[in-house]
């Protein structure tokens, strides 16, 4: 049974993910359209806009992937599952959730190493912002996805033991 505080925290994280995605998409659309209008009508360009748009695409993509894993709408290949018995499907489901948790955990660890390299390089992007700060999305989302898949693995295991 999930406690009320944990349920409240989970709802808060879901709201935070969705709000952040909507806000970033709004900024992305405004900057991209503004850049187009400025170039076409006034022959002016914002030097920082293209770099910002690239990072916004990255953040929106990763936040979208995070939400897709929460909603269980991520890409999966399940054509062969239709040929299996329900019991076999449960075990395959458990195994794929476990492997997904492991892979996302590995990607989180690799992305932390990547961030360490970026910090040591000391590169900067628009508004003299350090590049590694914009790339925090990698370890954050991979860690969160790994946690989600791990919790789903545990839920499927306990579900199998109850049936």
Percent of the chain predicted with pLDDT > 70: 97
How does pLDDT run across 11-60, given as a tens digit for each residue?
999 999 999 999 999 999 999 999 999 999 999 999 999 999 999 999 99
- Integer Cα distance of 130 and 113 in angstroms: 16
- Cβ pair 87, 78 in contact under 8 A: no
């Amino acid at each position: 049974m999930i406690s009320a505080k944990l349920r409240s925290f989970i709802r808060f994280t879901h709201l935070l993910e969705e709000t952040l995605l909507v806000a970033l998409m709004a900024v992305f659309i405004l900057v991209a359209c503004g850049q187009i209008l400025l170039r076409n009508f006034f022959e002016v360009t914002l030097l920082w806009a293209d770099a910002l748009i690239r990072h916004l695409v990255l953040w929106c993509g990763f936040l979208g992937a995070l939400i897709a894993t929460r909603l269980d709408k991520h890409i999966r290949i399940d054509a062969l599952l239709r040929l299996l018995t329900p019991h076999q499907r449960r075990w395959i489901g458990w195994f794929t959730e476990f492997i997904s948790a492991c892979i996302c955990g590995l990607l989180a660890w690799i992305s932390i190493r990547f961030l360490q390299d970026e910090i040591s390089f000391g590169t900067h992007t628009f508004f003299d912002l350090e590049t590694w700060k914009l790339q925090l999305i990698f370890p954050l989302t991979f860690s969160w996805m790994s946690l989600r898949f791990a919790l789903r693995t545990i839920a499927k295991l306990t579900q199998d033991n109850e049936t």
